[in-house]
Amino acid sequence: MPVNPADSPIFGTLYGSDAMRAVFDDRAYCQYMLDVEAALARVQARLGIIPAEAAEAITTAAVLKNVDTAEMAASVRNVGYPVVGLVHGLSRGAGAAGAWSHWGATTQDIMDSATALQVRDGLALIRADLMALLHALAAQADVHRTTVMAGRTHLQHALPITFGLKLATWAMPLAAHVQRLDQLHPRATMVQFGGAAGTLASLGDQGIAVMEGLAAELGLGVPPAPWHVGRDGLAEAVGFLGLLCGSLAKIATDVILMAQNEVAELTEPYVPGRGQSSTMPQKRNPIASEYILASSRAVQALVPLMQGAMAHDHERATGPWQAEPLALPQAFVLAHGALLHARSIADGMVVDAGRMRANLDITGGLIVAEAVMMGLAPMLGREAAHHVVKEACDHAMSAGIPLAAALAADSVVASRLDSAAIARLVDPAGYLGSSQAFIDRILATIVGLEAI
């Protein structure tokens, strides 16, 4: 059984996704390395470095069935890296042509290029589900653009907002994350090919041509020079996942708070039995949100591991490189799991607009005290208006009456505003400012991402 629950057949669906595990598991990594070896042979054959028939045989042999897992594991325990055992199996499968495999390459070239392929495919999964999450949030924001609710600061009522604005605010950083992903993609998905010490001396004057051809063959970018000890691209990718998880955790936190029985404005999608308690039949715990928070904390804990691993010594690291596999695959798996949980919430959230309105009204209109003050300010001046409204708020709270009644009982207010004017000032729906415009602006940024 796996030690990490993200890789467990029991707990794995809570902490990750099968799709992302299929990109980063051992078998996938071995096949990616074989793909790199085969691509290298084809490029070198086209350049006349190795025989064409050798490249054909190596490409045919670059399949997992030619790699003995037990043999490779024994080699890794002895050598410390998987490529010696991998190339041994590949060469054996290619027969005499195997003598031309791994020509001019070093272990790190194969492993780093395979990692770049994993990152490329992992980012593609992240982007697809991130866009799906954005579309779901945008649709919900449009539906609820006029659903008035209490805006809260310091966990207390502040001013009225709409649930649509809250949803759009959730979406705004996610749209920026799509842009970040597209910007970092070329920096994190470059081919690695530098030979023993990053000079490609073994290939004479054809080293750069092989590097460029290998990049084209694999669909990876071409670096200015080998990046054996320049790990910023991979560290940036994991840093991005940490940022993404931070935004997902904000959504999860809001959902958890809104799902409390005392608030009851929003719940996760209802699935019979999901989030139930073994002893309390009434419970519907916010399971998806809880696992978003757990996974996000884990991903963010892996960010400093990747950044610390950037301190490579000289032309090949003694330890930092080996730390990266402890962080990068798990960061992708956990982040994708959190993203899928967020998608499920956005797609099927249960919104109680009536409860939102009831909670909004719970303070008897005090939430719109600023609106009343701003309405009176042109008549009394801002400072005097603030004082009058503060007195009315204190009266409303001490007497247990609505703010409108306290205002009507104030001679200064009553001399300037009739009951209809007071009613307009204390209507939360009339004090939403630029909410609709902000929603429109955020939704427009999501639509704009489609062209990327």
Residue 274: its pLDDT value, please? Answer: 62
List of the chain residues with pLDDT < 70: 1, 272-283, 450-452
pLDDT digits (tens, 9 = 90+) for 267-318: 999 876 565 555 655 667 899 999 999 999 999 999 999 999 999 999 988 8
Residues that are catalytic: 277, 316
Is the Cβ–Cβ distance between 41 and 63 less than 8 Å?
no
**Angle CA(286)–CA(290)–CA(291) in degrees, nearest 5?**
125
Q: Is 421 left (phi over 0), alpha (psi -120 to 50) or beta?
A: alpha
Could you tell me the domains of the chain? Answer: 13-105+191-226 (1.10.275.10), 115-144+155-190+232-352 (1.20.200.10), 366-425 (1.10.40.30)
Identity of residue 430: G
Sequence-distant (6+) residues with CB within 8 A of 436 are 145
Supply the pLDDT for residue 282.
62
Q: What is the pTM of this model?
A: 0.93
Residue 80 DSSP class:
S
Q: Are strands 266-267 and 148-153 parallel, antiparallel or unpaired?
A: unpaired
What single letter denotes the amino acid at residue 101?
S
Distance in angstroms (rounded) separating the CA atoms of residues 373 and 350? 35
Q: What is the per-residue pLDDT for 266? A: 97
Other CB atoms within 10 Å distance of the CB of residue 286: 22
**Cα–Cα distance between 364 and 404 in angstroms, integer?**
8
Q: Give the pLDDT of residue 327.
A: 96
Residue-wise pLDDT tens digits, 37-79? 999 999 999 999 999 999 999 999 999 999 988 888 899 999 8
Whether residue 114 contacts residue 126, with contact meaning beta carbons closer than 8 Å, is answered with no
The 10 Å CB-count burial string (b at 16+, else e) for 11-37 is: ebebbbbeebbebbeeebbbbbbbbbb
3-state secondary structure of 99: helix
To which residue do tokens 């409204």 refer? 389
> How many residues in total does the chain contain?
452
Sign of CA dihedral 418, 419, 421, 425: positive
Which residue is listed with tokens 């603030």? 386
Q: Is 156 helix (H, G, I), strand (E, B) or coil?
A: strand
What 3-state DSSP class applies to 162?
A: strand
Query: How do beta strands 266-267 and 350-351 pair?
Result: antiparallel
DSSP letter for each residue of 36-77? HHHHHHHHHHHTTSS-HHHHHHHHHH-SGGGS-HHHHHHHHH
Look up tokens 């200015």; give the residue.
Answer: 224
DSSP string, 288-354: HHHHHHHHHHHHHHHHHHHHHTT---TTS-SSHHHHHHHHHHHHHHHHHHHHHHHHHHHHH-EE-HH
User: What DSSP designation does 270 have?
Assistant: P
What is the enclosing helix (H) or strand (E) of 153? strand 148-153
Supply the DSSP symbol for 221: B
Cα-Cα-Cα-Cα dihedral sign, residues 321, 327, 328, 329 = positive
Q: What are phi and psi of 221, to 5 degrees?
A: -80, 165
Would you give the DSSP letter of residue 150?
A: E
Helical segments of 62-162, H only: 69-79, 83-94, 107-143
Q: What is the pLDDT at residue 380?
A: 83
Would you state the pLDDT for residue 346? 97
Distance of CA 38 to the CA centre of its chain: 33
- Residue 358 CA to residue 352 CA, distance in Å, equals 10
